[in-house]
Amino acid sequence: MEVTRRDLFKGSAALVVAASASRVALAANDPLPSWNDSPSKKAIVDFVHATTDRVSPKFVPEPERIATFDQDGTLWVEQPMYSQVVYCFDQVPAVVKAKPELANVEPFKTVLTGDRAAIAKLSVPELLKVLAATLTGMSVDQFEADTNKWLKEARDPRWKRKFTDLTYAPMLEVLTFMRSNGYKTYIVTGGGQDFVRQYAEKTYGIPPEQVVGTAGGTTFGYDKTGRPFLTKDPKLLLNDNNAGKPEGIHMMIGRRPFAAFGNSTGDRQMLEYTKAGNGERLAMLLLHDDAEREYAYGPAQGLPDSKVGTFTQALYDEATARGWLVISMKNDWKRILS
Amino acid sequence: MEVTRRDLFKGSAALVVAASASRVALAANDPLPSWNDSPSKKAIVDFVHATTDRVSPKFVPEPERIATFDQDGTLWVEQPMYSQVVYCFDQVPAVVKAKPELANVEPFKTVLTGDRAAIAKLSVPELLKVLAATLTGMSVDQFEADTNKWLKEARDPRWKRKFTDLTYAPMLEVLTFMRSNGYKTYIVTGGGQDFVRQYAEKTYGIPPEQVVGTAGGTTFGYDKTGRPFLTKDPKLLLNDNNAGKPEGIHMMIGRRPFAAFGNSTGDRQMLEYTKAGNGERLAMLLLHDDAEREYAYGPAQGLPDSKVGTFTQALYDEATARGWLVISMKNDWKRILS
């Protein structure tokens, strides 16, 4: 059994050493078994060791170990449409049932037809109307019940699996590896904070309080029996995309991350902000370049922009210039889905 | 053999085992030694035992154990003026030095005179001008440097001690007791989130990400060298008082607390929201009724309303009607300050 310098700081008690040794042995086996032995994998492992080894000049005290992960396209599949948008479309019939006058009003009329080509052509303001009608106006408890019902029943169109099953095995390993080394893992998503919090704990081991996302306000009030409750209202408090990501991190966490993972231009500022901190920082972008096992998309590969998880050439160039790692799904990952 | 606190952290074989045993013994002896043996103390201890004992019908799984604490007047002294307001007044000379044209503009002119009676008469809009000028417009890094300098140098008028020394020993014991039983402790304050985060970890053992407070937005940008940074701007995102407390808890934590502690009408909705949850919940209000050792104030005692930490008769009546515990500083606490 080899004992590293790190073990020395874990205490000399026989039990403590035994526990450490077994943890190290496990880690020695391979903390990231779904990754090929590539520079990307090595960079992650080296970063974690460098920042958690007490004698390393790059050591980071445990309370400061914050790692942030974009969700859509970074932790789970985002194509052909963000899951939350699918949820919103799926809720439209119930919304129209409650307010029948909407049946002949756009964009609800088009959504009700189920005509995918027509739905895909909805404008942003029309889309926002659908989001507002399906994500706000109800109590927080009602929203929780609705989303959990949907998460159990809905299936994605390609794999016919629950959306929460479409997570990337290699990324779940990164989450576990970082947490087992004292990192607090956060989701920092452009998706709805309230939506992602419904499943983040079960799906990623990330508790609700470590989910930062696009968030509307709520309004406190009392029901007829005098019981207080919160209603979701349409006022936007945090648009957690682009510059909103570092702004949201400051608001919700108050510490700069030491590691950040993303996959699109919406993550650019989060990665810049992370890397601008002192000491060792890790920034990674996931490139969707595996058309066979998942999807391949984005201008950085000369492919059409699907408008979902846009990876531009400019982002690719910035990653190269600033030393961010670009993960190739095709080359770096042995397997994709969990 | 006597085991000191330092030994707990040394990590050598015998001591780790001995220390764990002694910690249990210490807890068994008395987790709240600064509290008199009163119904309030018993209620806290009973609540923690009932919710953390696996065989109790009131057991709460560890991830759900959230306890929220108001700060001003609940964890530290709030009289004669909130510390953060003192900070803002103390910053005015520096603000005027940077913008000399403000010297003859109200309310800065009055603040510069140092005339306490005149300053006390400033209107709310004037006060907000002082807050905006001293809490926004600078980078997050600059604000951090300014507040930390002030926290080191400033002294309160009565005890001539640093403001961060004016914490309540009995409440620090509650924080430690709850954390040692798997509770995640949060500050939920009307004070500025960015301000309180500067000292919460050292002062209370509460990390920045567990401080929820009144919060303005920030704006992401780049300095001349291209380095990204955040500027504090005056846009209010969360007014963490009254109904804003449960709204802020939903936004920042996403789980309903099992225990909540406050001392004024600003905490009412947080306590209502906490108690409205299923299962065993604890709500407590601290009554400042010890004029000799600290302060006595508030209409609930027939005393003048100091406008800082208002405890009305209506709040007292609600506490009685809903079974919230009212802690008497005078009768329940052996000592006050840490």
What local confidence, expressed as pLDDT, does residue B322 receive?
96
pLDDT band at B26 (very low <50, low <70, confident <90, very high): low
CB-based burial of residue A290 (10 Å sphere; 0-12 exposed, 13-18 middle, 19+ buried)?
middle
Q: For the whole model, what pTM was predicted?
A: 0.91
What local confidence, expressed as pLDDT, does residue A28 receive?
60
- Contacts of residue B238 in chain A, CB cutoff 8 Å? 237
- Contacts of residue B194 in chain A, CB cutoff 8 Å? 254
Q: Is the pLDDT of residue B5 over 80?
A: no
What local confidence, expressed as pLDDT, does residue B19 receive?
43
Residue B19 sits at φ, ψ, to 5 deg, of: -65, -40
Q: How far is A212 from chain B (nearest CA, A)?
A: 8
Which of A9, A208, A247 has its CB closest to that of B218? A247
Which of B16, B184, B252 has its CB closest to that of A252? B252
If you count residue pairs, one on A and one on B, with CB atoms under 8 Å apart, how many are there?
A: 112
Q: How far is A253 from chain B (nearest CA, A)?
A: 4
Q: How far is B64 from chain A (nearest CA, A)?
A: 9
Q: For residue range A196-255, list pLDDT tens digits in order.
A: 999 999 999 999 999 999 999 999 999 999 999 999 999 999 999 999 999 999 999 999
Q: For residue range B120-162, list pLDDT tens digits in order.
A: 889 989 999 999 999 999 999 999 999 999 999 999 999 999 9
Contact B12 A15 (CB under 8 A): no
Three-state SS for A87?
A: helix
Residues 6+ apart with CB under 8 A from A300: A287, A311, A312, A313, A315, A316
Contact B63 A230 (CB under 8 A): no
What local confidence, expressed as pLDDT, does residue B116 receive?
85
Which of A14, A228, A253 has its CB closest to that of B209? A253
- Contacts of residue B237 in chain A, CB cutoff 8 Å? 237-238, 251
Q: Is the pLDDT of residue B297 over 80?
A: yes
Which of B218, B237, B250 has its CB closest to that of A230? B250
What local confidence, expressed as pLDDT, does residue A116 receive?
85
What local confidence, expressed as pLDDT, does residue A11 receive?
37
Instruction: Using alpha carbons, list the distances in angstroms from residue A199 to A165, A260, B142, B253.
Output: 11, 21, 38, 15
Rounded to an integer, what distance in angstroms lies between the CA atom of residue B191 and that of residue B204? 15
Three-state SS for B2?
A: coil
Pull the structure tokens for residue B96. Answer: 């005027």
Q: For residue range A267-299, list pLDDT tens digits in order.
A: 999 999 999 999 999 999 999 999 999 999 999
Q: Which residue is it, tokens 């209409």?
A: B299
pLDDT band at B29 (very low <50, low <70, confident <90, very high): confident
Q: Is the pLDDT of residue A9 over 50?
A: no
pLDDT band at B305 (very low <50, low <70, confident <90, very high): confident
Phi-psi region of A215 (alpha: psi -120 to 50; beta: other; left: phi over 0): beta
Q: Is the pLDDT of residue A2 over 60?
A: no
- Contacts of residue B184 in chain A, CB cutoff 8 Å? 209
Q: For residue range A160-181, list pLDDT tens digits in order.
A: 999 999 999 999 999 999 999 9
Q: Mean pLDDT, to the nearest integer, of B260-275?
A: 98
Q: Are B249 and B188 in contact (CB under 8 A)?
A: yes
Rounded to an integer, what distance in angstroms lies between the CA atom of residue A265 and that of residue A133? 28
Q: Mean pLDDT, to the nearest integer, of B25-52?
A: 90
- Contacts of residue B230 in chain A, CB cutoff 8 Å? 246-247, 250, 273
Q: Mean pLDDT, to the nearest integer, of B198-225?
A: 98
pLDDT band at A6 (very low <50, low <70, confident <90, very high): very low
CA contacts within 13 A on the Cβ side of A249: 32
Which of A14, A217, A251 has its CB closest to that of B13? A14
Q: For residue range B237-263, list pLDDT tens digits in order.
A: 999 999 999 999 999 999 999 999 999
Q: For residue range A51-108, list pLDDT tens digits in order.
A: 999 999 999 999 999 999 999 999 999 999 999 999 999 999 999 999 999 999 999 9
What local confidence, expressed as pLDDT, does residue A26 receive?
52
What local confidence, expressed as pLDDT, does residue A120 receive?
85
- Contacts of residue B260 in chain A, CB cutoff 8 Å? none
- Contacts of residue A269 in chain B, CB cutoff 8 Å? 220, 228
Which of B16, B227, B272 has its CB closest to that of A11? B16
Residue of B nearest to A230 (CA): B247
Query: Which of A140, A183, A230 is the best mutation test for B, with the most CBs of B within 10 A?
Result: A230
User: What is the percentage of chain B residues whose pLDDT exceeds 70?
Assistant: 92
What local confidence, expressed as pLDDT, does residue B68 receive?
98
What local confidence, expressed as pLDDT, does residue A154 receive?
98
* A58 C-beta neighbours (distance < 10 Å), count: 15
Residue of B nearest to A205 (CA): B63
Q: Is the pLDDT of residue B203 over 60?
A: yes
- Contacts of residue B253 in chain A, CB cutoff 8 Å? 208-209
Q: Are A302 and A7 in contact (CB under 8 A)?
A: no
